[in-house]
Amino acid sequence: MYDEWSQAVDTHAQAADRLAEAARTGKPCAPIRDLVGTAADAYAVQEINTRRAVEAGRRPVGRKIGMTNRLVQQKFGIDQPDFGTLFADRSYRDGLPIPVGEFLQPRAEAEVALVLGADLEGGPFTVADVLRAVDFALAAIEIADSRIADWDITLADTIADNASAGAFVLGNTPVPLLGLDLRAAAMTMTRNGEEVSTGSGADCLGGPLNAAVWLATRLGRSGAPLRAGDVVLTGALGPVVPVEPGDVFEARIGGLGSVRAVFGP
């Protein structure tokens, strides 16, 4: 039994090292599914690199939910959401330049961000619990990224790779949830003035609050539940779009205003 546990730990470390090396060198790596088979193992790999990041001085500021959009799930053959950690040094400001060279294979997606005003510890949780805990919502653009070459990912690959997290931009208009129907919120995203993605809140796991309930319940009894002040990116509202140097993305979400992600040359 000890030998099996030791071998699993060693395999997790190998997968984490492969992903970390890709991030360090800027050269995408082979998938890690040859080393990691289950979602539980993949989260163990994710945790290794999250712990390393914290030890290196990076500050976690919340969570991102991935694979909430049905079209994205179908593209990758994945049938469930996943989550990763957001870091302060990967939060960029609305309309200010983002260094595109910091990414390997960036893709932009429009999302609803929720900022918590209360902890969500315990659970399982209901929509009402999450509504009470959320301080306000914001329009957001996530820059998803993959350390795995050509985005050749399965569920295990993307979980281990911090749910393919890259960076994020938050809008500047905080909106309380009272009277706001996130499920019906329409989204339009443009790239350099041309419409490239449309959708609505309903395209995110049936509604962004559904995604938030899933995450809160998933983490509530773990050692790292959602806390007051956390940012939660709830998932893509429409198709994700590849990013090129010099691109300017603007996402407009009904009831939440707009947000821009401006990439340097």
Q: What is the domain-level CATH number for residue 72?
A: 3.90.850.10
pLDDT digits (tens, 9 = 90+) for 100-151: 999 999 999 999 999 999 999 998 999 999 999 999 999 999 999 999 999 9
For residue 175, tell me if it sits in a domain.
yes
For residue 23, tell me if it sits in a domain.
no
pLDDT of amino acid 74: 80
pLDDT of amino acid 2: 42
Contact status, residue 192 vs residue 247, Cβ threshold 8 Å: yes
Beta bridge partners of 85: 63
For residue 199, tell me if it sits in a domain.
yes
pLDDT of amino acid 5: 46
Query: What gap in Å lies between CA 63 and CA 220, rounded to an integer?
Result: 13
Tell me the pLDDT band of 198, cut-offs 50, 70 and 90.
very high
To the nearest whole number, what is the mean pLDDT of the chain? 94
pLDDT of amino acid 7: 56
For residue 6, tell me if it sits in a domain.
no
Tokens coding 29: 């790596």
Query: What gap in Å lies between CA 8 and CA 15, rounded to an integer?
Result: 11
Share of the chain above pLDDT 90, in %: 90
Range of the domain at 75: 59-263
Total number of domains in the chain: 1
For residue 25, tell me if it sits in a domain.
no
Q: Could you give the angle at the alpha carbon of 239 between the alpha carbons of 235 and 241, nearest 5°?
A: 105
pLDDT of amino acid 10: 87
Distant-in-sequence, close-in-space partners of 218: CB < 8 Å, separation ≥ 6 = 83
For residue 19, tell me if it sits in a domain.
no
pLDDT digits (tens, 9 = 90+) for 215-263: 999 999 998 999 999 999 999 999 999 999 999 999 999 999 999 999 9
Res 1 pLDDT > 60 = no
H or E element at residue 228: none
Tokens coding 196: 């490239």
Share of the chain above pLDDT 70, in %: 97
> Exposed, middle or buried: residue 263 (CB in 10 Å: 0-12, 13-18, 19+)?
buried
For residue 36, tell me if it sits in a domain.
no
| CA-to-CA separations, 43 to 136, 223, 227, in angstroms, rounded | 29, 13, 20
Res 12 pLDDT > 70 = yes
For residue 42, tell me if it sits in a domain.
no
Query: What gap in Å lies between CA 228 and CA 222, rounded to an integer?
Result: 16
Say which residue the tokens 């799930």 belong to.
Answer: 73
Mean pLDDT, residues 70-77 taken together: 79
Query: What gap in Å lies between CA 140 and CA 111, rounded to an integer?
Result: 5
Task: Report residue 196 CA to chain centroid gap.
Answer: 20
